[in-house]
Amino acid sequence: MKQTTIALAGNPNCGKTTVFNALTGSRQRVGNWPGVTVERLEGNYSHADTDVLAVDLPGIYSFSAHSPDEEVSRNYILQSKPDVVVNIIDATNLERNLYLTTQLLDMKVPLVVVLNMMDLAEQRHLEIEVEHLAKHLDCPVIPVVGSKGTGIDALKDAIAKVALSHHISSTSVVYDSQVEAAIALLMPMVANAAAENHADPRWLAIKLLEEDQLAMEITANAHADVVATELARISRHVGDATDIVIADGRYGFIHGLARDVIHRRLELRRTVTDIIDRVILNRALGIPLFFLIMYAVFFLTIGVGGAIH
């Protein structure tokens, strides 16, 4: 039997673990990532004569390695080289979730995008052109409802296909022309370091411009002077710090995508959360409600609990 390793990446609360459970069923193991107290969840499933090991990465907004969660996720993708990275996206919050996707596109990894919570998106009258999105991202996009298990078979098929073809998306985010000039300058300089670390040179150049710690380590800080000059040049021309300009590039790409593939049929102004917040966060009602709930808790634990005891 063949062996495939996949990694699940996504924002916090995008339903990543629900999809993970739907994929692997009960065959799971919980552990820790070496050296940090970040939980590591692994599971297996068999599909089309292949044994697939699925690793659930921590929920993150970015691969910038500002927190142990981000660092663990990024190191796993870069060093362990999973055959497929499955990027799970909350369909009701496409724009914010795609920020992580743009970074995976920069990293040039074999990618499958999962649009989770499609039922909620429908309830909120969001129409997403899945095919169109897949074309733009140049990778499979699979709509699923993790909680009901719909679309999981299609997802397994898509993963198997990408694991076989190792297809890497040709889509990349085009940044501000000043940033692009700096990337073009840095790319040949970091080509060797990138090849040694099995990383993409363009990604490494972008990361250097973001003053990323890991990128500096990979290149042994050899291009610190060039980077500093370029950073100064970019902020002089554009008027903003380079990391803001790069983030703008990512959001520009995302907004362009969103305009093309999302149709909001009508905006539902008030969600359940809003209604609950209006009551419990109300200036006048808030404190009395707090005391009422505390009273209820004490009554339950002492009054009812004591009687049962």
Q: Which range binds other proteins by CB under 8 A, 16-24, 31-39, 49-57, 62-70?
A: 62-70
**Shortest spacing between CB 69 and other proteins, in angstroms:** 12
Largest CA distance in the chain: 76
Our finding on whether 244 is near other proteins (CB under 8 A) is yes
Query: Which residue in 61, 75, 216, 237 binds other proteins (CB under 8 A)?
Result: 61
Q: Which range binds other proteins by CB under 8 A, 19-27, 89-97, 104-112, 163-171?
A: 89-97
**Shortest spacing between CB 213 and other proteins, in angstroms:** 11
Q: Which range binds other proteins by CB under 8 A, 21-29, 107-115, 215-223, 247-255?
A: 247-255
Q: How far apart are CA 96 and CA 138, in angstroms?
A: 19
57 or 142, CB closer to other proteins? 57
How many degrees, rounded to 5, is the angle at CA 75 between CA 72 and CA 77? 105
50-56 and 2-10 as β-strands: parallel, antiparallel, unpaired? parallel
On the 0-12 / 13-18 / 19+ scale of CB atoms within 10 A, 89 is: buried
Task: For the beta carbon of residue 232, count every other beta carbon within 10 angstroms.
Answer: 11
224 or 244, CB closer to other proteins? 244
Which residues are CB-neighbours of 24 under 8 A, at least 6 positions away?
Answer: 43, 44, 45, 54
Q: Which range binds other proteins by CB under 8 A, 164-172, 183-191, 223-231, 246-254?
A: 246-254
Binding string, 250-289, against other proteins, x = CB under 8 A? Answer: -x---------------------x-------x-x------
How many degrees, rounded to 5, is the angle at CA 28 between CA 166 and CA 86? 25
Name which of residues 96 to 115 contact other proteins (CB under 8 A): 96, 99
**Shortest spacing between CB 91 and other proteins, in angstroms:** 13
**Shortest spacing between CB 231 and other proteins, in angstroms:** 12
Q: How far apart are CA 188 and CA 184, in angstroms?
A: 8
CA distances from 243 to 150, 212, 257 (A): 39, 10, 21
Q: Could you please report the per-residue DSSP string of 85-151?
A: EEEEEEGGGHHHHHHHHHHHHHHT--EEEEEE-HHHHHHTTEEE-HHHHHHHHTS-EEE-BTTTTBT
Binding string, 11-50, against other proteins, x = CB under 8 A? Answer: ----------------------------------------
Structure token pair of residue 125: 């009258």
Residues found near other proteins in the complex (CB under 8 A): 61-62, 64, 66, 92-93, 95-96, 99, 211, 240-241, 243-244, 247-248, 251, 273, 281, 283
